Amino acid sequence: VALTEFEIIRRYFARAQLAFARDGVVLGPGDDCALLALPPGEELAISIDTLNVGVHFPKDADPFLLAQRCLLVNLSDLAAMGAEPVGFTLALSLPTVDENWISQFSNGLAKVAQSYQCSLLGGDTTKGALSITIQVHGRVPARQSLRRKGARVGDRIYVSGTLGDAAAALCWMQNRSPFRGKALDDDSAEFFRNAFYRPQVSIEAGISLRRLASAALDISDGLASDLGHILEAGDLSPGSQTQNKASGRIGAVLDVHKLPLSVMFLRYVPPARQLALALAGGDDYGLCVTVAPALEAQAVSRMQALGIEFTCVGQIEKAPGIRMRDAQGVTAPLTFRGYQHFGVKDG
């Protein structure tokens, strides 16, 4: 006998494994609304992401892993804002009541929710094509959030973690080059599965970078594209206020030989494909931040204390656009054409 909507909610979502006593939460699921109460002087940070079957994940995706990815990509937005989690809501659209699927999905949510102490506060459960929407709610002291706006000429550009692993993982899962027809050993398979489904999100990293980073975001579309957002939002250098917006935009140089690449990435992705996947592959969910030179040492030592790989990959410059610089110091523009080329996922 199929469960009713209310039984599904009670059994798999309004459950103890998804509820944690935490400052800010007054009331969780079960009423018409959840209630939050932040202490004075704090701001509420909100972000939402939808994942649709066939668009963002395959129909046969493992529900335990899928749930983790759904929640982690939302938590990544909080981290990038310097916020810490309070709770999340879940809008779930299911084609059928497959209790095994729902139960594994719930367990995946609980795994991440527990490790980030982020409670499920409520949601909506409906029938339809499989779709998962999560909205996360976080808190951050007033005026301390990390924004995309704020990078200045001379700031260093840092990324956390490694680049391109999730993009490589997607090639593997879709049996595309450079993995086509290749059987991976267990360790490699586990590495790439985790790279895609379980991005490493560090709330502590975002918190530690408050007051240190001049701009920040999480890398979801690839460093080239996401750094572009920071440049678009960036402060004009002093004295250039009168220039028109387009010519007043700041730019950046990326030291492509310094991009942090994992051992597994280097093992499977041939050199000719590495830049494309690392710069434009997407789904990395590490942080990209800019830091003024005077604060650089402090930022580096805080990330070190957290055990987070934190790599300087370039610098903000006055000239608009993104340039790539190799180990010999030779610079080439990352042109729109170049970017389009990098955007091609199968080479």
CA distance 13 to 269: 40
Contact region for Mg ion (CB under 5 A) — 17-25, 106-114, 122-130, 211-219? Answer: 122-130
The answer to the question of residue 346 lying near Mg ion (CB under 5 A) is no
Q: Which is nearer to ligand ADP, 18 or 334 (CB)?
A: 18
Tell me if 128 contacts ligand ADP by CB under 6 A. no
The minimum distance between CB 8 and ligand ADP, in angstroms, equals: 8
Determine if 187 is a binding residue for ligand ADP (CB under 6 A): no
Handedness of CA 339, 340, 341, 346 (dihedral sign): positive
CB of 30 to ligand ADP, least distance (A): 5
Residue 287: count other Cβ atoms within 10 Å of its Cβ: 28
User: CB under 6 A: which stretch of 123-131, 198-206, 262-270, 286-294 binds ligand ADP?
Assistant: 123-131
**What are the distances in angstroms from CA 264 to CA 68, 116, 172, 215?**
22, 27, 12, 30
- # residues near ligand ADP by CB under 6 A: 14
Of residues 123 and 150, the one with the C-beta less far from ligand ADP: 123
> Residue ranges of the alpha helices (H) in the chain?
5-8, 63-81, 99-115, 165-173, 186-197, 203-209, 223-233, 245-248, 263-268, 271-280, 293-305, 336-343
Identify the residue among 32, 60, 186, 187 touching ligand ADP (CB under 6 A): 32
Residue 156 to residue 134: CA distance in whole angstroms:
33
- We find the least distance from the C-beta atom of residue 253 to ligand ADP, in angstroms, to be 46
Q: What is the rounded CA–CA span in Å between residue 154 and residue 130? A: 46
The one among 108, 122, 161, 260 contacting ligand ADP by CB under 6 A: 122
* Pairwise CA distance, residues 223 & 322, whole Å: 11
> Tell me, what DSSP letter sits at residue 31?
B
Does 60 engage in binding with ligand ADP (CB under 6 A)? Answer: no
Among 23, 124, 190, 346, binds Mg ion (CB under 5 A): 124
Q: Cβ contacts of residue 270 below 8 Å, gap of 6+?
A: 178
Would you give the binding string for ligand ADP spanning residues 68-107, x where CB under 6 A is met? ----------------------x-x---------------
Q: Is 63 in the site for ligand ADP (CB under 6 A)?
A: no
Query: What are the C-alpha distances in Å from 320 to residues 66, 148, 223, 266?
Result: 39, 17, 16, 31
Question: What residue ranges bind Mg ion (CB under 5 A)?
Answer: 124
Binding site for ligand ADP (CB under 6 A): 9, 13-14, 29-32, 90, 92, 120, 122-125
